Amino acid sequence: MPLNHGNILHLQKAKVDAMIKLEIEKSPLLVAKKASLFYQELLAQKPNAVLGLATGSTPILLYKELVKLYEKKVIDFSQAICFNLDEYCHIPKEHPQSYNTFMHEQLYHAVNISSKNTFIPKGDEVDLSKECKRYNALLQEHGPIDLQLLGIGRNGHVGFNEPNTELEIGTHVVKLKDETINDNSRFFDTDEEVPKYAISVGMKTILTSKKILLLAVGKEKATIVKELLESRITTNIPASLLHLHSDITLICDEAAASLL
Ligand code: GLP
């Protein structure tokens, strides 16, 4: 392709389009409000959208906003299909700290999402590899995901795709890294209780989503946010693979953006 002025402009635009779009908001609440607009817009356009949902402390305020919007009749989940990223292994789904319990408490019980349209990996299955195949098949049947919500672990994990020399493509069982187990221990009464394994969707499910919304709040995320935005693509920071996606927005509060 000859490099005339028009083509250079085109290339520049392609480069801009491929970057992680960064939005910085003053507070975690404003991050949640900004993020909730993505859901309002998507569900207004496509009521039966497939939503990829996340757990952890980061999305809690967003889920509260979505519940408020539902109560004000601004948003309707009746046809939405929801897939969670991950679940702990070897704890019952009714456990107070399971991601299944989290989703019901934070969102599902309070909005009109039909229970037949909510999917979370079953970490308490005896045959976990069969469960991974079942979850992959469900994602194939309903996917691709229209809007994938992500948080980020302090070590750069997304879902439970932990830093490693290789990353998994599809849904898989993960041995959690010590730092992740340590971070998660705040939710459990004793160290023995903290799950050491989880089921997570793979990087392919995340990267084939049509749109990605990555949220980061708090000063403890400032280092990884800086690393993510400045890093090349490396499996040591699984989130860095998100640079490959052409429609990703990172919304940070000022604390998470404080080292930029
Ligand atoms: C867990 C989840 C991730 C989440 C991460 C960050 O490990 N599997 O999906 O993004 O924690 O959690 P938090 O939002 O509590 O910092």
CB distance 182 to ligand 1 below 6 Å: no
Atom number of ligand 1 nearest to Cα 200 = 8
Residue 233 CA to ligand 1 center (angstroms) comes to: 20
Report the pLDDT value the prediction gives residue 10, as an integer from 0 to 100. Answer: 42
H/E stretch holding 44 reads helix 28-45
Phi–psi pair at 70, nearest 5 degrees: -65, -45
CA distance 76 to 200: 28
Backbone angles phi, psi at 101, to 5 degrees: -60, -45
Give the residue among 164, 172, 188, 155 at the shortest CA–CA distance from 86.
Answer: 172
Q: Provide the token pair at 221.
A: 């995320």
Decide if 86 is catalytic.
Answer: yes
- 162 part of the active site: yes
What residues in the chain have per-residue pLDDT under 70? 1-18
Question: Tell me, what's the pLDDT at 71?
Answer: 98
Q: Tell me: the pLDDT tens digits for 206-255?
A: 999 999 999 999 999 999 999 999 989 999 999 999 999 999 999 999 99
In sequence order, the β-bridge partners of residue 211 are 147
Q: Out of 25, 146, 162, 253, which one is annotated catalytic?
A: 162
Catalytic residue among 136, 155, 161, 184: 155
Regarding the beta carbon of 57 and ligand 1, being less than 6 Å apart is answered: yes
Catalytic residue list contains 172: no
Neighbours of 107 (CB within 10 A): 22
Residues in the chain: 260
Cβ atoms of 55 and 85 closer than 8 Å:
yes
Strand duo 118-119 + 211-216: pairing: unpaired
What angle do the packed helices 28-45 and 60-71 form, to 10 degrees? 50
Indicate whether residue 152 lines ligand 1 (CB < 6 A): yes
**SS3 of 88, please?**
strand
pLDDT for residue 12: 42
